[in-house]
Amino acid sequence: MSHLPPLPALRYFEAVARLGSVTSAARELHVTHSAISQQIKLLEDIMDVPLFVRAGRGLMLTEEGRLYALEIRDALRDIELATRKARARPQEDELVITTLHSLALHWLISRLPRFRQTHPHYRIRLQTGLELSELQQGMADVGIRMGQGPWPNLAQQLLFKDVALVVASPNFAGGKLPRTPSEVIRHPLLHETDNAWLDWCRAAGVPEPVQEIQFRANDSNISVGCAELGHGLLLTRYSIVADLLEQGRLVPITDVRVPYPYPYWLVWPQREVVPEKVRDFRTWITAEFEAFSAKVRF
């Protein structure tokens, strides 16, 4: 790569080409006007190609300069992205976990201190989201996802098959909570996934809800919050309300529970040798979910 121009010259050239002014480029880059001019002259000398023509007291891109600026802009973006990725990749003593926001908030963060007690040498970084790109690009060590799998370029291990149940605030309907499935379907209902209530009604042996679904959200945390505020009866995953049930902030309505169609999986980048920190977390999270599963009644 002996023909590569200096990076400062490319950055200064791109800024002038984009902003149309040496003064504006100097202000954006926090350098002097003369520093910009010197780097552009250096770049033109190295390339032996005119990039600007002088028009009065300003500069105007030549056609060669315009085309070069477009390619340099893309190249600088690639360098910036590569740098961000390199800086974001986990360090040797850092365990980066990516998971669903709902599971992180309502289940994982209350249990992570137990992992820290047995593995205090790891720094924990928790990231939430639905994408798998962080794992596939090596920016996270391990993830917890819901679904059926398989996921490309990722190893996976089944962690937990969840169930769905109806919950409500203990103050819902003035504390006069429904006791039977037939009473449930006559109350305002909160909605998370398509056909969830239909599956529950079939299992409970009652017809479809006579009440129109009162509220729909694409985020389980919002639905749980609505239930806590007493806005309706919520059919949701046991995993994200178990702690709230123990705390009395929500209460179960009837004993009817149905299998949730999307299990939790532990996923991590496929490698010939699994890093020790991934093995440590896999052992711990497996034991945690096994203990948690013992509480689930079908």
Residue 195 and residue 177 share a domain:
yes
The secondary structure of 129-183 as a DSSP string is -S-SHHHHTTS-SEEEEESS---TTEEEEEEE--EEEEEE-TTGGGG----SHHH
The residue type of 15 is A
When divided into structural domains, the chain yields a total of 3
Q: Is residue 1 part of a domain?
A: no
Return the structure tokens found at 131.
């994408």
- Host H or E run for residue 268: strand 264-269
Q: Is residue 249 part of a domain?
A: yes
Task: Note down pLDDT in tens along the chain; length 298 residues.
Answer: 557 888 989 999 999 999 988 889 999 999 998 999 899 999 988 888 899 888 776 788 999 999 999 999 999 898 887 777 766 666 677 999 999 999 999 999 999 999 999 999 999 999 898 888 778 777 889 999 999 888 888 999 999 999 999 999 999 999 999 999 999 998 989 877 667 788 899 999 999 875 666 667 778 899 999 999 999 999 999 999 999 999 999 999 999 999 998 999 999 999 888 999 999 999 999 999 999 998 776 5
pTM as predicted: 0.71
CATH code at 49?
1.10.10.10
Residue 138 and residue 174 share a domain:
no
Residue 153 and residue 168 share a domain:
no
CATH code at 206?
3.40.190.10
Range of the domain at 57: 7-88
